Amino acid sequence: MENQEKYTALANRIYDLDGDVYKCVGSSLGRTFTGKRENTIRTLSMIMYTKPDSHLLRSELALISNMARTIKDKEARSRMMTEYDEILKELESLPNVFGSTDIVDKERVALNLAANREKMSPDDHMVICISRTQGSAGNDIGFELADSLKINYYDVEIFDQVLKRLEAEKDNVQDKENFTDFNKYGKKSPESLKTKLKELNRYHGLSKQDAVFFNMSDLICELARTEDCLIMGRCADAILKNNHIPHISIFISAPFQVRVQHVMDVRNMDMKQAVRFLKKMDKQHKKYYEFYTGEKWGKPENYDLCINSANYGIKETIDVIKRLLNQQTQ
**DSSP H helical segments within 69-99, as ranges?**
74-92
C-alpha dihedral sign at 224, 230, 234, 236:
positive
Q: Rounded to an integer, what is the distance from CA 316 to the centroid of its chain? A: 17
Per-residue pLDDT, 63: 82
Same-domain status, 261 and 115: yes
pLDDT tens column, 40-96: 999 888 887 765 456 677 778 888 888 888 888 999 999 999 999 999 888 877 765
20, 76: one domain: yes
Note whether residue 191 is domain-resident: yes
The answer on 223 and 301 residing in a single domain is yes
pLDDT of residue 181: 42
What single letter denotes the amino acid at residue 158?
I
Radius of gyration of the chain from its Cα atoms, rounded to whole angstroms: 28
87 lies in a domain?
Answer: yes
Q: Please, what's the b/e burial string for 99-124 (b: 16 or more CB within 10 A of its CB; e: otherwise)?
A: eeeeeeeeeeeebbbbeeeeeeeeee
Q: Write down the pLDDT at residue 203.
A: 47
Give the DSSP H or E segment for 128: strand 127-132
> 307 by DSSP, 3-state: which?
strand
- Number of domains composing the chain: 2
Query: CA 321, CA 147: separation in Å to the nearest integer?
Result: 13
Tell me which of 48, 63, 92 is where a domain ends.
Answer: 92
Domain membership flag for residue 150: yes
Question: Is 100 part of any domain?
Answer: no
In Å, what is the CA distance from 260 to each residue of 28, 160, 165, 268?
53, 28, 36, 11
Q: Do 237 and 111 share a structural domain?
A: yes
**10-residue block means of pLDDT along the chain (330 residues)?**
78 92 74 86 82 67 86 92 90 65 58 55 83 93 91 85 64 46 42 50 60 86 92 93 92 95 92 96 93 92 93 93 69
Domain-located, residue 133: yes
> Are both 37 and 126 inside the same structural domain?
no
Q: Evaluate if pTM is beyond 0.75.
A: no
pLDDT of residue 2: 61
**Are 172 and 269 in the same domain?**
yes
Last residue of a domain, one of 41, 70, 92: 92
> Do 260 and 298 sit in the same domain of this protein?
yes
Q: Which range of residues forms the domain containing residue 171? A: 106-324
Q: For residue 100, what are the contacts with CB-CB under 8 A and spacing of at least 6?
A: 51, 92, 94
Domain boundary pick from 22, 57, 92: 92
CA dist 40 and 17 (Å) reads: 13
pLDDT tens, position by position, 221-256: 999 999 999 999 999 999 999 999 999 999 999 999
Q: What is the pLDDT of residue 62?
A: 84
